[in-house]
Amino acid sequence: MNLLVTGVAGFIGSHVCEQIVKTGDFVIGIDNFDNYYSTKQKRLNLANLNASSNFVLYETDIRNKGRLFEVFLKNKIDIVLHLAAKAGIRPSLENATDYYSVNVDGTLAILDAMKNFNVRKLLFASSSSVYGNNQKIPFSESDQVDHPISPYASTKISGELLCHVYSHLYGFDVSCLRFFTVYGPRQRPDLAIHKFTRMIDMGIPIPIYGDGSTARDYTYIDDIVQGIMNAIKYLEGYRIYNLGESRVIGLDKLVSTIEELLHKKAILNRLPLQPGDMKVTYADISKARNEIGYNPEYDFSDGVEKFIEWYRVNKELIY
pLDDT of amino acid 75: 98
On whether residue 107 sits in a domain, the answer given is: yes
Stated pTM of the model? 0.96
On whether residue 24 sits in a domain, the answer given is: yes
Mean pLDDT per 10-residue section of the chain, whose length is 319 residues:
98 98 98 90 95 97 97 98 94 95 98 98 98 94 95 98 98 98 96 96 92 91 98 97 96 96 94 82 97 96 97 87
Residues 6+ positions from 316 with CB-CB distance below 8 Å:
none
On whether residue 45 sits in a domain, the answer given is: yes
On whether residue 274 sits in a domain, the answer given is: no
pLDDT of amino acid 128: 97
Other Cβ atoms within 10 Å of 264 Cβ, number: 14
Catalytic residue among 131, 152, 220, 282: 152
On whether residue 197 sits in a domain, the answer given is: no
Number of domains in the chain: 1
On whether residue 137 sits in a domain, the answer given is: yes
pLDDT of amino acid 286: 98
Residues 6+ positions from 234 with CB-CB distance below 8 Å:
175, 291, 292
pLDDT of amino acid 213: 83
Q: Is 152 a catalytic residue?
A: yes
pLDDT of amino acid 202: 95
On whether residue 271 sits in a domain, the answer given is: no
Query: The domain spanning residue 64 has which CATH number?
Result: 3.40.50.720
**Owning domain of residue 15:** 2-182+219-244+282-297
On whether residue 272 sits in a domain, the answer given is: no
